[in-house]
Amino acid sequence: MAASEESLRKALAEKQSAVEAHGNAVRALKAAKASKPEIDAAIEALNSLKLEKSSIEKQLQAAVSGSDGDGALSREAFRQAAVNTLERRLFYIPSFKIYRGVAGLYDYGPPGCAVKSNVLAFWRQHFVLEENMLEVDCPCVTPEVVLKASGHVDKFTDLMVKDEKTGTCYRADHLLKDFCNEKLQKDLTISAEKAAELKHVLATLDDLSAEELGAKIKEYGITAPDTKNPLSDPYPFNLMFQTSIGPSGLSPGYMRPETAQGIFVNFKDLYYYNGNKLPFAAAQIGQAFRNEISPRQGLLRVREFTLAEIEHFVDPEDKSHPKYSEVVDLEFLMFPRGEQMSGQSAKKIRLGDAVSKGTVNNETLGYFIGRVYLFLTRLGIDKDRLRFRQHLANEMAHYAADCWDAEIECSYGWIECVGIADRSAYDLRAHSEHHVKNVFDEGQREGNIDFIGTNLDKSGVPLVAAEKFSEPREVEKLVIAPVKKELGLAFKGSQKNVVEALEAMNEKEALEMKAALESKGEVEFYVCTLGKNVPIKKNMVSISKEKKKEHQRVFTPSVIEPSFGIGRIIYCLFEHSFYTRPSKAGDEQLNVFRFPPLVAPIKCTVFPLVQNQQYEDVAKVISKSLTTAGISHKIDITGTSIGKRYARTDELGVPFAITVDSTKDVTIRERDSKLQVRVSVEEAALVVKSVTDGLRTWEDVWEKYPHHTSGSADD
């Protein structure tokens, strides 16, 4: 808890006691019929105490609701204004609205859809093309076996509670979180100790088991928000949409919860496609699905969303990156684990320093953090409201080497929009193991064990890479050689099972058996396919360490995964781009989206100044050259005033407007500065194209062309 807040709570509690004590004193004086001056003085002191208490309350209120006391309120108002504009102009709309909609499902209308496809096109340019990534496109419908291996069938759950009377479902952690936040922000009378406890609950919310969550809900007397009915105990609800593949009803499937698995299961083919060379990255853009228990926060928590994921496969022994030097000098807000634990805030750090000091685990992870920073800021995300937050130990999966989230601040707070994780070898191993389970285990697939038997023929699909040595290297390898003749005599029909089990021993087991056989001559050995122990004698198996020449090193690659929630990025971009400004007459606030041309849904509008055939013809000529230049645009020939038409186009975030006010020259207006230049009809499309393509800036244009100064055009 911040020191100031804690001391304020204490001061408030003290002041409250003082007010009560003084109140009693005043009442006592009155009861004792004390003199009027005496009573008046006491009352004055009481009032001044009350004023002091009220001042502390205000400070505390400010402290709990952020730096400015009105922050929450103004954030809410800002969001309302932005969301109203977004929905009115069909950037997005609740899906199936005429049927009253479905929570957590949204449509992108025409301008939103255009923004989305611009964001995705830039993503493809910035990541896939620039880095020569292997893009794939896999189905959403996924058979159970794949998601069983990845762990989603068993672990992709949220804890849910039910209203015991109506059956309405809630996310258990949300109810507890809401309760704590509400209490902290609205109830100023709670003690500093209680406040500290609630804050601890909030900080450890993600770690609570179903039992612990249930106990807290009971302890705090939390009830169903809508009905105040009692709640059930929390229980896990799997967030995948389940379905059935084919007509038999016997093949369960799910709508994928992420696109990554489609890449992992194709690792072998992609590695081959890449000439059996590491590192390489595969990428996928596509829909993913989460059957949220009770979606809220608009576009930020939805049941279906577009993910763009990269899986960069790298040798775990060499996580350097050839292009690392291109991002090493970038400096931006980072929020390492240490700073979070010690209650500090995010600070500007040079990426190169974060990597060299080991704050960021390795170069490749650092490289992608830098590339993500460039991607987001070029889209128009405000760099002062973007931070890279490192996962705390309790947030990170046990196998992860390091993990950073690109968080963007919007009216809902800091929102995780991109996760950048070094997931080590976890995912590839999960599929290898699930696939070849019971055939051979980890140690054998990758360690120093050779096979004399025939197990390798049955190996299924180990998802591994190999480093070919330029010169063969001498390594010591364990060799397990079952003596089939002796085993056959001893075990007859079960010989095969015993041979396989012997070959399946890992290094530790084999060396223990070797030692035992040498000392005792016979050991009991558990054969899982027989479900029992069998006696193994010294003459039945030879176990030895041999020096061998190796031509390659076989290993499971590490995977570094930047995963982008496209809808969340777009929503934050909407908020960061939105502002209002007064109309020229000053009688209303006009809405503007300051989208960079790269993401603007339409790059340009074309307006004939007045409705006449000549101007309309010129507008059509310009429109045709814009189409040829590949610039999306719109002609507006309505008779509305030019000011109204500008306002309409600003509200869609269109960066340029061409007003046709003669048949030779036209006026180009820039959205944010409202500055206007005069350009010939022939040049108009090319000027707009050069700026939207980033070949020159509006400032260049402003310098080169004559300015339009007539007041007739704007507002």
Asked whether position 255 contacts its own copies by CB under 8 A, the answer is yes
Give me the residue label for tokens 């390798």: 456
CB of 306 to its own copies, least distance (A): 8
CB of 141 to its own copies, least distance (A): 5
> In the numeric block, which tokens belong to residue 415?
């929102």
Binders in 103-142 for its own copies, by CB under 8 A: 103, 105-110, 112-114, 116-117, 124-125, 129-130, 132, 134-142
Nearer to its own copies (CB atom), residue 247 or residue 711: 247
- Contacting its own copies (CB under 8 A), which of 51, 96, 518, 697? 96
CB of 529 to its own copies, least distance (A): 22
Nearer to its own copies (CB atom), residue 91 or residue 404: 91
CB of 562 to its own copies, least distance (A): 18
CB of 244 to its own copies, least distance (A): 7
Stretch near its own copies under the rule CB under 8 A, chosen from 15-23, 164-172, 397-405, 553-561? 164-172
Asked whether position 48 contacts its own copies by CB under 8 A, the answer is no
d(CA 49, CA 628): 75
d(CA 682, CA 348): 47
> CB of 640 within 8 A of CB of 702?
no
Asked whether position 49 contacts its own copies by CB under 8 A, the answer is no
Residue 689 parent element (H or E): helix 681-692
Residue type at 227 in one-letter notation: T
Asked whether position 39 contacts its own copies by CB under 8 A, the answer is no
CB of 713 to its own copies, least distance (A): 22
- Contacting its own copies (CB under 8 A), which of 97, 155, 186, 473? 97
Nearer to its own copies (CB atom), residue 253 or residue 562: 253
Q: How many CB atoms lie within 10 A of CB 228?
A: 8
Nearer to its own copies (CB atom), residue 69 or residue 94: 94
> In the numeric block, which tokens belong to residue 600?
């603007």
CB of 559 to its own copies, least distance (A): 16
Nearer to its own copies (CB atom), residue 213 or residue 265: 265
Burial track 247-264 (b if 16+ CB lie within 10 A, e otherwise): eeeeeebbbbbbbbbbbb
Stretch near its own copies under the rule CB under 8 A, chosen from 64-72, 101-109, 364-372, 673-681? 101-109
- Contacting its own copies (CB under 8 A), which of 31, 67, 167, 493? 167
Nearer to its own copies (CB atom), residue 137 or residue 476: 137
CB of 208 to its own copies, least distance (A): 19
Beta strands in 209-279 (DSSP E): 235-238, 242-244, 252-255
CB of 143 to its own copies, least distance (A): 5
- Contacting its own copies (CB under 8 A), which of 584, 594, 634, 678? 634
Q: At what angle do helices 484-491 and 495-503 cross, to 10 degrees?
A: 130
Count of positions on this chain that bind its own copies (CB under 8 A): 80
Binders in 394-433 for its own copies, by CB under 8 A: 431
> CB of 634 within 8 A of CB of 606?
yes
Nearer to its own copies (CB atom), residue 44 or residue 130: 130
d(CA 652, CA 671): 10
Give me the residue label for tokens 């990541």: 127
d(CA 284, CA 127): 11
3-state secondary structure of 481: strand
Q: What is the DSSP letter of 242?
A: E
What are the CB-based long-range contacts (under 8 Å, 24+) for 695-702? 698/670, 698/673, 701/668, 701/677, 702/670, 702/675, 702/677
Asked whether position 265 contacts its own copies by CB under 8 A, the answer is yes
Stretch near its own copies under the rule CB under 8 A, chosen from 224-232, 248-256, 477-485, 516-524? 248-256
Phi, psi at 11, each rounded to 5°: -60, -40
- Contacting its own copies (CB under 8 A), which of 85, 266, 563, 591? 266
Give me the residue label for tokens 């340019």: 125
Residue 608 parent element (H or E): strand 604-608
CB of 632 to its own copies, least distance (A): 6
x/- string (CB under 8 A) for its own copies, residues 267-306? -xxx--x-x-----------x-x-xxxx--------xx--
Phi, psi at 382, each rounded to 5°: -70, 120
Nearer to its own copies (CB atom), residue 20 or residue 269: 269
x/- string (CB under 8 A) for its own copies, residues 303-342? xx--------------------------------------
CB of 622 to its own copies, least distance (A): 15
d(CA 689, CA 573): 23
Q: Which residues pair with 467 in a beta bridge?
A: 553
Burial of 508 from C-beta contacts in 10 A (0-12 / 13-18 / 19+):
exposed
x/- string (CB under 8 A) for its own copies, residues 665-684? --------------------
d(CA 85, CA 149): 44
Stretch near its own copies under the rule CB under 8 A, chosen from 48-56, 266-274, 535-543, 592-600? 266-274
d(CA 539, CA 489): 12
CB of 100 to its own copies, least distance (A): 9
CB of 193 to its own copies, least distance (A): 36
Binders in 432-461 for its own copies, by CB under 8 A: 435, 460-461
Burial of 91 from C-beta contacts in 10 A (0-12 / 13-18 / 19+):
buried
d(CA 545, CA 449): 9
Stretch near its own copies under the rule CB under 8 A, chosen from 497-505, 523-531, 624-632, 668-676? 624-632
Nearer to its own copies (CB atom), residue 343 or residue 639: 639
Nearer to its own copies (CB atom), residue 29 or residue 113: 113
> CB of 109 within 8 A of CB of 86?
no
Nearer to its own copies (CB atom), residue 89 or residue 312: 89
Asked whether position 621 contacts its own copies by CB under 8 A, the answer is no
Nearer to its own copies (CB atom), residue 168 or residue 185: 168
Q: Which residues contact 243 (CB under 8 A, 6 or more apart)?
A: 141, 252, 253, 254, 255
d(CA 65, CA 185): 7
Cis status of the peptide bond prior to 279, with omega within 30 of 0: yes
CB of 327 to its own copies, least distance (A): 17
Q: Which residues contact 647 (CB under 8 A, 6 or more apart)?
A: 583, 590, 715
Nearer to its own copies (CB atom), residue 275 or residue 531: 275
Binders in 188-247 for its own copies, by CB under 8 A: 237, 241-247
